[in-house]
Amino acid sequence: MVDQNSTPLGKRPLGSQGLLVSTQGLGCMGMSAYYAGRDDAESTATIHRALDLGVTFFDTAESYGPFTNEVLVGKALKSRREDVQIATKFAMEFDDDGNALGFNGSPRYANKAVNRSLKHLDTDYIDLYYLHRVDPEVPIEDTMDALADLFMAGKIRYIGLSEVTPETIRRAHLIHPITAVQSEYSLFARDPEKDGVLATCRELGIGFVPYSPLGRGVLTGGITKVDDLAADDHRRNLPWFKPENLDENVAVVDTLRELAAQKEVTPGQLALAWVLAQDTTPIPGTKQRRWLEQNVAASGIKFTTAEMAAINAASPHGVTAGERNNPGVLATNR
């Protein structure tokens, strides 16, 4: 059994440019967007509990809300700003009223977005600034030139990319060192192993940050039917959660549940520990302290060679029924 009150998380380098973060971070998106049940008081308490447990790496984006999640995170971390690393993202363009305008990776929008994020976060600098998605109308070199200027101005300390191809990583890295690449990665979404993203990051000394390492909640075992999700939960629109797919995906989790029981851990802890074992820095998202504590405890789980083989056999690449996201979203990976 994993001790929920074990030693606080340690630190590890993210990439090779000097950024030091906790061994797992906290994804804050669901506190303000996409998932039902917003509760700013509990979300703030969850962030503070994360600090108690050694989490120092917090992930947000201007699109989460939009803007409201940055404000929440900035307020919650204000008194500990020098002790934490805040990551945020831009390129999904919004006007100042929060109306979505499409993708924009132009230097003009990079400058507008970073200044707005600094204001919402109530900080003088952003530790890790990601290009959230590549703008198909703007060469990656032009976007990177703008981000390099923001780095030189001291507004951002490190640069990241999100949901990109190996070719884009290489082109961007030639302009300015990339510190981290963020992509979905879990036992249900193993594409980075197959499309060369993980290998490219390792070759170039770039950290890899998996988001949704719990398979958008399915790998916790807590979602077994569509009605387990609130009526306004965004996941109802995703392929994994369609009734014709969810039963098959839950069957995979049932097998993982048996392996977790042998280890005396929860299915979610097993899934998260597997991601940690791939030499990555995951950012599991939660807005409740009880789930945060389970996630942090997963950092203490180690697998034997036989246990790892059994997990991989139970959930190989391509095991899920349905794609991880809708076609239009997947097409933004460039």
pLDDT at residue number 2: 62
- Sorted by where each begins, the domain ranges of the chain are 11-214+280-300
Hey, is 282 helix, strand or coil? coil
pLDDT at residue number 189: 97
Choose, from 34, 35, 64, 129, the residue flagged as catalytic: 64
Phi and psi at residue 58, to the nearest 5°? -120, 130
Please name the residue ranges forming H helices in the chain. Answer: 40-52, 68-77, 107-121, 140-152, 166-175, 191-194, 197-204, 243-263, 267-276, 289-297, 305-314, 327-330
Rounded-to-integer distance, Cα 18 and Cα 267, Å: 34
Architecture of domain 11-214+280-300: Alpha-Beta Barrel (3.20)
Q: Is the pLDDT of residue 303 over 80?
A: yes
pLDDT in tens, 221-279: 999 999 999 999 999 999 999 999 999 999 999 999 999 999 999 999 999 999 999 99
Share of the chain above pLDDT 70, in %: 98
pLDDT at residue number 329: 84
Rounded-to-integer distance, Cα 131 and Cα 157, Å: 14
pLDDT at residue number 182: 98
pLDDT at residue number 330: 82
**Stated pTM of the model:** 0.96
pLDDT at residue number 327: 87
Phi and psi at residue 43, to the nearest 5°? -60, -45
Mean pLDDT of 125-145: 98
pLDDT-based confidence at 5, cuts 50/70/90?
low
Query: What type of residue is 128?
Result: L
Q: Which two tokens stand for residue 259?
A: 């392996």
pLDDT in tens, 207-224: 999 999 999 999 999 999
Among residues 76, 108, 78, 74, the alpha carbon closest in space to that of 91 is found at 108
Q: Which two tokens stand for residue 286?
A: 């939660």
Q: Is the pLDDT of residue 197 over 60?
A: yes
pLDDT-based confidence at 113, cuts 50/70/90?
very high
Would you call 64 a catalytic residue per the annotation?
yes
pLDDT-based confidence at 37, cuts 50/70/90?
confident
Q: Is the pLDDT of residue 4 over 60?
A: no
